[in-house]
Amino acid sequence: MAVTARTREQVKALDKYKYGFVTDIEMETAPKGLNEDIVRFISAKKDEPAWMLEWRLKSFRRWLTMSKSEPKWAKVSYPPIDFQDAYYYAAPKKKPTLKSLDEVDPELLETYKKLGIPLAEQEHLAGVAVDAVFDSVSVATTYKGKLEKMGIIFCSISEAMQKCPETVKQYLGTVVPYTDNFYATLNSAVFSDGSFVYVPKGVRCPMELSTYFRINASETGQFERTLIIADAGSYVSYLEGCTAPMRDENQLHAAVVELVAPDDAEIKYSTVQNWYPGDEHGKGGIYNFVTKRGACRGRNSKISWTQVETGSAITWKYPSCILQGDNSQGEFYSVAITNHYQQADTGTKMLHLGRNTRSRIISKGISAGHASNTYRGLVRMGPRAGGARNYTQCDSLLIGDKCGAHTVPYIESKNRTARIEHEATTSKISEDQLFYCRQRGLSEEDAVSLIVNGFCREVLQELPMEFAVEAQKLVAISLEGSVG
Amino acid sequence: MTAMLEIKDLHATVDGKEILRGLSLSIKAGEVHAIMGPNGSGKSTLSYVLAGREGYEVTKGEVLYQGKNLLAMEPEERAAQGVFLAFQYPVEIPGVSNTTFLKHALNAVRQHRGESELDAMQFLKLLRETMKRLGMAEDMLKRNVNVGFSGGEKKRNEILQMAVLKPTFAVLDETDSGLDIDALKVVADGVNALRAPDRAMLLITHYQRLLDYIVPDRVHVLAKGRIVRSGDKSLALELEQRGYAEFAKEAA
């Protein structure tokens, strides 16, 4: 079997977890713990405007009052997190101002090579502009020139604060307010870096914008903050891919992503999340507590989330759409794979406020080993949402008899003309299917991977081409050891 | 010449119940054999035992395939060695296109054999040629494996897989059942096209009808887990006239 067999070899070569290696780059790290001084340190490091520091401090003070409101409703369990026992800022020491890839730290480039992200090639071959986030600071940005000519801004959010502070100020925290939830508030106080995209009116971004996040420093919480604004009548597709090295300590990741789409704008946001899931006994792994939300503010606007979640020990994530503009559309396509002792509680919120708003939710949960996989989703039709429609499909696939799959849909309708459909299935990979595949020459693992890829196809085909291939490999890797 | 497949005194149980009770059979390269028998005589059990399905436990006897112990191999190993089973009830795999499935299967088998994998272009070329030869419509390729296929389409799909994988030894388990006469001809043409001096086939069937189109070298009657009569193709006609009951008596 072509792809999976090759991938498996690579994985073996890298000792089970493909991306489990650590790059030795000198860190400039803030002292351990979290207090106002740390918040000031982060802000000073980034040379931020005063209003930004004020916003961070406001968030931090708010967060202090929330210490007892850490969300507990998700179907996940983990020991209490000691927020004082972590570092909140780490950056590669060589602060580069890069004109080309030649200036990037060679060691860093080597890391990307291991990850299968040859930046140099990507620039030419894939037509992907990569804003690479290595730990907390962006170190390499390509294609900037080409995008700049079209008026598209694609840079790190710290850079955006220098370049176009007014735009950042105008939109930051308007979709996910700093008071939103425990982790979003924490993020607002200490966010390190992330991506910023602005697409001007009527411009169709000619390439997929892509950021590879990578957690590298031990015990460093990652607090990415991403803000994407597609102005009226514009279109942008953004890819986010994540890998992290093997670590024993649990690492907290609490990102916030905000999307803004006014009249006739469209944003497509795709994620492949493959952070370290912990070992087969449930030791280690990333805690992935993420708040992602998009606002369809204008008429006929559209926001589409596609996610393939295979990594992390715990995933707590509900990419949502606020469908405010009339005729606006929200989509959520999700594959969540949990193996061994991974726990995922993920889904979406579709908040229909405007008339004739439409949403579509396709969720595929695959659970193997001792894992727990929950779909949790809210569809709310507001009083003004006349003629609004939602279609939800939640399918769960179980591998083995020690894992769990749960579907928790919340449906609220305050408008009689709104229509909501919900379908859910739970199935197992059948002996018949496995034997059929093996009789045709496929190994048991390849058979499982093929069957699961088939199960996820509706979602995987929503991914941009270059991600779809990666995602299929990931499906195979994440289910290794789940049969036999 | 030694036999390609040599089954000696094979006993097998399913759920603790003995189904095969001392079956012996020898098939040489280039030959096509037919096994006929009533329901419950052990026809499908034989095909599953040969393909290595779990739950079909061999309690006694042996099966040599090209001189090797077939029963010691995993199902995928047998496939790689050229053993193919055309299923009586082909299985549906939602979301996986026929093309994808066949490409994975062929490359897995080629890899086992130490041959290079075919890339997408090479594979599609091979597939198109094969389909043309079999007179099959290409729209079948884009559809998901057996999903929403009619009975006849499923059986034709098995023949297509066989034609692409080019097995050395193929078992066709009631490939004729549920087929109308046109579909039966397509299937038979496909099978006949694959007859070759270095390939052997075992047809499992209820009815003589199939053997009008695929003329076997040998016909065996299976009853109560054992072969009770063997002969040339005229045995099938005799069976059709006299029915299975008499043979079943002989086996008792």
Taking only the tens place, the pLDDT of each residue in A98-143 is: 555 565 556 555 555 545 554 544 443 333 455 555 544 443 445 6
CATH number for the domain including B213?
3.40.50.300
Q: CB contact, 8 Å: A435 with chain B?
A: yes
Q: Please judge whether B76 and A1 are an interchain contact, meaning their C-beta atoms are less than 8 angstroms apart.
A: no
Parallel, antiparallel, or unpaired: how do β-strands A343-352 and A372-381 relate?
Answer: parallel
Nearest to B214 by CA among B40, B45, B8, B31: B31
Average pLDDT of the segment spanning A180-186 = 95
Cβ–Cβ pairs < 8 A, chains A and B: 86
Nearest to A312 by CA among A336, A293, A292: A336
For the record, the structure tokens of B183 come out as 């579909």
Domain count within chain A = 1
What is the spatial distance between Cα B213 and Cα B232, in angstroms, rounded to a whole number?
15
Q: CB contact, 8 Å: A458 with chain B?
A: yes
More confident residue, A25 or B42: B42
Q: Which of residues 163-192 of B touch A (CB under 8 A)?
A: 165
The residues, any chain, with a CB within 8 Å of residue A74's CB and separated by 6 or more, are: A316, A345, A374, A376
Q: CB contact, 8 Å: A419 with chain B?
A: no
User: Poorest-confidence range of A209-213, A322-326, B112-116?
Assistant: A209-213
The residues, any chain, with a CB within 8 Å of residue A439's CB and separated by 6 or more, are: B51, B52, B75, B76, B78, B79, B84, B85, B87
Q: What is the pLDDT of residue A234?
A: 98
In one-letter notation, the amino acid at residue B132 is K
For the record, the structure tokens of A365 come out as 């949960």
Domain membership of residue A483 (yes or no) is no
Average pLDDT of the segment spanning A51-61 = 95
> Residue A2: pLDDT above 60?
no
Place of tokens 């047998």: B78
Residue to substitute from A364, A439, A446, A449, interface B, most B β-carbons within 10 A:
A439
Domain membership of residue A484 (yes or no) is no
Taking only the tens place, the pLDDT of each residue in A402-430 is: 899 999 999 999 999 999 999 999 988 88
The residues, any chain, with a CB within 8 Å of residue A21's CB and separated by 6 or more, are: A14, A111, A114, A245, A246
Q: Are A42 and A192 in contact (CB under 8 A)?
A: yes
Q: CB contact, 8 Å: B95 with chain A?
A: yes
Q: What is the pLDDT of residue A377?
A: 96
User: Poorest-confidence range of A54-63, A351-360, B202-211?
Assistant: B202-211
Average pLDDT of the segment spanning A219-237 = 87
For the record, the structure tokens of B169 come out as 């030894």
> What percent of chain B shows pLDDT beyond 70?
97
More confident residue, B83 or B139: B83
- From residue A197, alpha-carbon distances to A155, A194, A261, B5 in Å are 7, 10, 12, 66
Q: CB contact, 8 Å: A436 with chain B?
A: yes
More confident residue, A468 or B235: B235
Q: Are A298 and A327 in contact (CB under 8 A)?
A: no
Within 10 A of A476 (CB to CB), how many other CB atoms are there? 23
Average pLDDT of the segment spanning B146-170 = 93
Q: Please judge whether A454 and B111 are an interchain contact, meaning their C-beta atoms are less than 8 angstroms apart.
A: no
CA angle (A446, A451, A455) in 5-degree steps: 145
Q: How far is B172 from chain A (nearest CA, A)?
A: 13
Nearest to A221 by CA among A468, A34, A19: A34
- From residue A6, alpha-carbon distances to A9, A11, A267, A315, A466 in Å are 5, 9, 34, 28, 17
Q: Please judge whether B104 and A451 are an interchain contact, meaning their C-beta atoms are less than 8 angstroms apart.
A: no
Q: Please judge whether B54 and A431 are an interchain contact, meaning their C-beta atoms are less than 8 angstroms apart.
A: yes
Q: Are B216 and B241 in contact (CB under 8 A)?
A: no
User: DSSP 3-state assignment of A91?
Assistant: strand
Domain count within chain B = 1
Q: What is the pLDDT of residue A357?
A: 98
User: Poorest-confidence range of A169-178, A190-199, A372-381, B68-77?
Assistant: A190-199
Q: Please judge whether B108 and A446 are an interchain contact, meaning their C-beta atoms are less than 8 angstroms apart.
A: yes
Q: What is the pLDDT of residue B149?
A: 92
Q: What is the pLDDT of residue A4?
A: 46
Closest chain A residue to B94, measured at CA: A454
Residue B161 is nearest to which of A433, A440, A442, comparing CB atoms? A440
Domain membership of residue A318 (yes or no) is yes
Which chain B residues contact residue A435 at CB under 8 A? 51, 53-54, 75, 91
Q: What is the pLDDT of residue A91?
A: 64
More confident residue, B139 or B11: B11
Average pLDDT of the segment spanning A223-235 = 95
Q: Are B183 and B137 in contact (CB under 8 A)?
A: no
Q: What is the pLDDT of residue A156?
A: 84
Global confidence as pTM: 0.82
More confident residue, B243 or A105: B243
Q: What is the pLDDT of residue A61?
A: 95
Q: CB contact, 8 Å: B84 with chain A?
A: yes
More confident residue, A227 or B251: A227
Nearest to B157 by CA among B170, B171, B144: B144
In one-letter notation, the amino acid at residue B207 is Y
Q: CB contact, 8 Å: B107 with chain A?
A: yes
What is the spatial distance between Cα A340 and Cα A380, in angstroms, rounded to a whole number?
34
Taking only the tens place, the pLDDT of each residue in A423-453 is: 999 988 888 999 999 999 999 989 999 999 9
- Interior/surface letters B1-32, b for 16+ CB within 10 angstroms, e for the rest: eebbbbbeebbbbbeeebbbbebebbbebebb
Q: How far is B96 from chain A (nearest CA, A)?
A: 5
Average pLDDT of the segment spanning B199-221 = 92
Domain boundaries, position A372: 2-478
Q: Please judge whether B96 and A1 are an interchain contact, meaning their C-beta atoms are less than 8 angstroms apart.
A: no
Which chain A residues contact residue B170 at CB under 8 A? none
Q: Are A466 and A128 in contact (CB under 8 A)?
A: yes
Q: What is the DSSP letter of B214?
A: S
Give the highest mean pLDDT range of A251-260, A349-358, A419-428, A447-456: A349-358
Taking only the tens place, the pLDDT of each residue in B58-87 is: 999 999 999 999 999 999 999 999 999 999
Which chain A residues contact residue B92 at CB under 8 A? 433
Q: What is the pLDDT of residue A102?
A: 60
Parallel, antiparallel, or unpaired: how do β-strands B93-97 and B56-65 relate?
Answer: unpaired
> Residue A26: pLDDT above 80?
no
> Residue A93: pLDDT above 80?
no
Q: Which uninterrupted H or E stretch holds B209?
A: helix B209-213
Domain boundaries, position B123: 5-251
> Residue B144: pLDDT above 70?
yes
* Complex ipTM value: 0.96
Average pLDDT of the segment spanning B216-232 = 94
Q: How far is A463 from chain B (nearest CA, A)?
A: 16
What would the DSSP string read from start to end of A285-332?
-EEEEEEEEEEE-STT-EEEEEEEE---SEEEE--EEEE-STT-EEEE
Q: What is the pLDDT of residue B239?
A: 85
Domain membership of residue A347 (yes or no) is yes
User: DSSP 3-state assignment of A106?
Assistant: helix
Taking only the tens place, the pLDDT of each residue in A302-324 is: 999 999 998 889 999 999 999 99
> Helix A182-190 vs helix A50-65: angle between axes, to the nearest 10 degrees?
150
Q: What are phi and psi of B162, to 5 degrees?
A: -65, -45
Q: What is the DSSP letter of A117?
A: -
